[in-house]
Amino acid sequence: MVGNEVRLRVIFFGTPTFAVPTLEGLWQSRHAVVGVVTQPDRPRGRGQHVQPSAVKAAALAHDLAVWQPGTLKDEAFLAMIRSAAPDLGVVAAYGKLLPDVLLAIPRLGLINVHASLLPRYRGASPIQRAVLAGDAETGVSIMRVVAALDAGAVLAQRRHPIGPDDTSGDVERALATLGASLLCEMVDRLAAGPVQEVPQQDAHATYAPRLRKEEGLVDWSHAASTLHNHVRAMQPWPGASTFLDGERLVIRRTRVDLPTTAPPGTIIEADHDVLRVATGDNSSLRVLELQPSGRRAMTVRDFLAGRRLAAGARFTGPS
């Protein structure tokens, strides 16, 4: 059989929506997905009902074997992986570090889809950190999985621009598709023979720690451009939140607006479809869309139609 016809047996590790296009791409390829490993079912959503991960739902739709181990060192789980005889492991946002005993099972090792241009933004939240920093570009990396966090050699990268108004959700959807395409291409190349792997330059590494809910709170003392990036980065979770008369509001869309000398957080203008708020660099942020607690997202016009806001009112932190 010639190299480009080799059919690999692949074990897949992934959990959230980001990983689904990669799983779908593998399922549609000539290679055989011999099992899917995903995180245990957990409470999700507003009602906190126990639900399967997005990857589990996709796997079951294709009648694929699914494993949800509480620990990756469980001997019964490892025995099942060995019995599947995988040639290659593929990881896409699984959510846990893989132990050496697991890395040693596939004969071609494991490769990972990472949503950054490594070694920049190793860690759990590379997309959000790139948007938060105001980066104009990001991308995906296909890397060798090693015991250290996102430190393996890089097999391939593909770049993607970040638009000035793109949210983390926008970028994630684009990178999920981009990463799936690049990953499937690399699996085909690995089936044909060895692929060049470029070690990362650890001295240039930066880290992207997991996003915390409390990071969503808006600090109006920051510059307007920084706050605009913050609003974009916090979409869709946890949302960029502020408080008005004790009510929590999530700010969903903004743009940098006119200069002002008002104190940060002061509402300078609130009329029709205009809601401008003073920021910490003698500038202002125009709010375009927001979401009151427990209600749907709405335009500023709809929000102001239901309440009167006087210029001089203040957005604040939690009371």
77 backbone φψ class: left, alpha, beta (φ>0; ψ -120 to 50): alpha
The pair of structure tokens assigned to 199 is: 């070690």
Q: Distance between CA atoms of 102 and 73, rounded to whole angstroms? A: 8
What does the pLDDT profile of the chain (319 residues) look like in tens digits?
344 579 999 999 999 999 999 999 999 999 999 999 999 998 876 767 889 999 999 999 999 999 999 999 999 999 999 999 999 999 999 999 999 999 999 999 999 999 999 999 999 999 999 999 999 999 999 999 999 999 999 999 999 999 999 999 999 999 999 999 999 999 999 999 999 999 999 999 999 999 999 999 999 999 999 999 999 999 999 999 999 999 999 999 999 999 999 999 999 999 999 999 999 999 999 999 999 999 999 999 999 997 888 778 999 977 5
Q: What is the CATH number of domain 3-204?
A: 3.40.50.170
Domain 213-305 top-level CATH class: alpha beta
Which among 212, 207, 141, 139 is positioned nearest to 171, based on CA atoms? Answer: 139
Q: Distance between CA atoms of 143 and 152, rounded to whole angstroms? A: 6
Does an H or E element contain 268, and which? strand 267-271
Where in the chain are the domains?
3-204, 213-305
Rounded to two decimals, what is the model's pTM? 0.95
